Each structure stands twice: as C-alpha cells, then as structure tokens.
Structure 1
Amino acid sequence: MERLVSEPRTADDLAKTLREAIQRLNRRVRQARPVGDLTFGQLSALTSILLAGALTPRELADIERVQPPTMTKIVGKLEERGLVIRSPHPTDGRQVILAPTEQGRAIYAQFELARNAWLSEHLEQLGPEDRDVLFRAAEIMQQVARS
C-alpha cells in the first residue's frame, strides 16, 4: 500500500497526523448511517445517555458541550420519538434523570450496525498486515485514551 504521509518524526508530528486521520475517519463513519430523521446532535445525545447509563439534562449538556436550552430541545425531540424517558431524580426533586428506552437502544443498535458494516467493508480491502497494524494501533489508542 502506498504511504499517504511521511513517517512522523516527533510526538507533535504524530499527534497532528493521528488527530487528522481520526477526525477524517470519524467524519466518514458518522456519515454511514441508516436513513432516518435523527440528527447528529440527537444521535450524539442518545449515545451519551446510553454510554453513561442515566444523566441529568445538565450533565448531558456538559458532556455534549452545548448550552442547556439547546439540550432541552434535543431531549424533547428524543422524548417525542420515544427514545428517552425522564424519571424523577432520586435525591433532588428539582431535577430529572434521562435514560434510554428499549426503542432508543434499538435505534442506536441500527446506527452502530451501519457504521460497523461500512468500516468493516473498507477494512476488508486492506491486506492482513495492514489490518494487524491497525489492530495494534487501536490497542495503543485505547491505552492513550485511558491515561
């Protein structure tokens, strides 16, 4: 396979090259989704709720890096579609907890299947050696993410 970039020589070079590659790949994988009317913001919020278990709207807004009024609109749309439910907060009566519904989990699973299928199809085009390198790179990236 032809090299698209020269070998990084410093940690800064590697950081820039890796960050750009991750961003491009993430953008492309995000585009591989089933046809539907769920926006990227709604899907991102649903994903955060699924990964975190249950969150307050404020916690969700912080995770998604949006203002609370914006998150209120996103959560409202997800709730209208039956993808999340609001429950009373167990210790603070002024707050609610957001949790995914079974339908929300099913929609998320469809998106995950579509994304994984797209990526798998493209990874199959690589040789075994390149796939091994990517597998090792993924392990290293997980290690960096945990530190």
Structure 2
Amino acid sequence: MTLTDPHDYDELAVRLRSATGRFFRRLRAERPAHGLTMTQISALFSISKGGGVLTPRGLAEVERVQPPAATRTAAVLEERGLVRRAPHPTDGRQIVLSTTPDGEALIAADRQAREAWLAARLSELDKADQETLRAAATILERLARA
C-alpha cells in the first residue's frame, strides 16, 4: 500500500497506535506475578537503566511524575529489597538509587517471561510474516529515535 493522500497517513497512524497499544497490553499480561504496580515496575526498570547514578529527582524526570511520587515509589521498592539508596558520590545532599540483586533478578524474570511468550507467538508465523516483522522492528526503532 502506497500512501498518497495525507488522510492515508492519519489512518495509518490510528491503526499503528491502536495495534501497538493492544500489543503492549497483551505483552504486559505475560508479566510474572511479582506484586508490583505498573508504576513500580517502570520505576525499577528506570533505576536499573540509571546504572547507580539516578537520583530521586532524576527518576521523576525519567518517569514523568512529580518528585514526591518518585520518592514514594522508590521507598516502596526499597522496602521490598529491590532498590538501595547510597550517598551521591559528589553531592552529599543527595542520594542515588540502584537496584539490588533481587531487583535485577525480578527484572530478568519479567523480561524472560514476556520474551518467551513473544518468541513462541513469532514461531507460529510463516516466514514471510516473520520477515515483515523483522523489517517493521527496524522501522519502529528508527521512528522511536526521531
């Protein structure tokens, strides 16, 4: 399908947004039962990506929430033994957040469960659909960086 009418782009945008939304809700359903809310699991992933230099304010920025909400979420994760606080290496007034081994294990289990489900679904597709999705993944990665 070649898009020639600007209206075609609008229709494609609606279809892609709708399909990706349903897809991610389905993928989320494959998470193991760990008792974390979506906000908490998102924060845990962000803290892990932060590499031990993410402050609570930095977490708030990454998660696009108010700093008090990020602080409360980090406190819950710390109580669960998934996150630890440490003094900031250069600013004694601040702390940095990092994941504990238990936090990293939870992240790994979460990713593994979702990726196993997706790999099983992909193996059910014919080769042409698999190649189409391989190309689409490259395009979506490029769109995400734009």
Mapped pair 1:114 → 2:133: no
1:78–1:8 Cα change, 3 Å: farther
Provide the C-alpha distance between the structure 1 equivalents of 2:54 and 2:81, rounded to a whole number of angstroms. 17
Provide the C-alpha distance between the structure 2 equivalents of 1:65 and 1:90, rounded to a whole number of angstroms. 24
- Percent identity among equivalent residues? 49
Provide the C-alpha distance between the structure 2 equivalents of 1:122 and 1:67, rounded to a whole number of angstroms. 38
Structure 2 counterpart of 1:93, which letter? G
Provide the C-alpha distance between the structure 2 equivalents of 1:19 and 1:95, rounded to a whole number of angstroms. 39
2:14 alignment partner in structure 1: 16
1:3 alignment partner in structure 2: none
1:56 alignment partner in structure 2: 55
Shift of 1:8: 7.6
Q: Which secondary structure state, in structure 1, belongs to the residue aligned with residue 91 of structure 2?
A: coil
- 1:6-48 Cα offsets, whole Å, 9 max, x none, are x584333322221221111111111111122122111100111
Provide the C-alpha distance between the structure 1 equivalents of 2:47 and 2:16, rounded to a whole number of angstroms. 28
- Are the counterparts in 2 of residues 88 and 95 from structure 1 also a CA contact under 8 Å? yes
1:136 alignment partner in structure 2: 135
Provide the C-alpha distance between the structure 2 equivalents of 1:50 and 1:84, rounded to a whole number of angstroms. 9
Provide the C-alpha distance between the structure 1 equivalents of 2:141 and 2:12, rounded to a whole number of angstroms. 16
Shift of 1:137: 0.3
- Are the counterparts in 2 of residues 8 and 14 from structure 1 also a CA contact under 8 Å? no
Mapped pair 1:84 → 2:83: yes
Mapped pair 1:94 → 2:93: yes
1:143–1:91 Cα change, 3 Å: same
Q: Which secondary structure state, in structure 2, belongs to the residue aligned with residue 63 of structure 1?
A: helix
Name the stretch that deviates more: 49-58 or 10-19. Answer: 10-19
TM-score, reference length from structure 1:
0.87
1:27 alignment partner in structure 2: 25
1:15–1:52 Cα change, 3 Å: farther
2:122 alignment partner in structure 1: 123
1:4 alignment partner in structure 2: none
2:36 alignment partner in structure 1: 38
CA RMSD of aligned residues (A): 1.6
- Are the counterparts in 2 of residues 46 and 104 from structure 1 also a CA contact under 8 Å? yes
Which ranges in structure 2 are unaligned for 5 or more consecutive residues?
Answer: none
Aligned residue pairs total 141
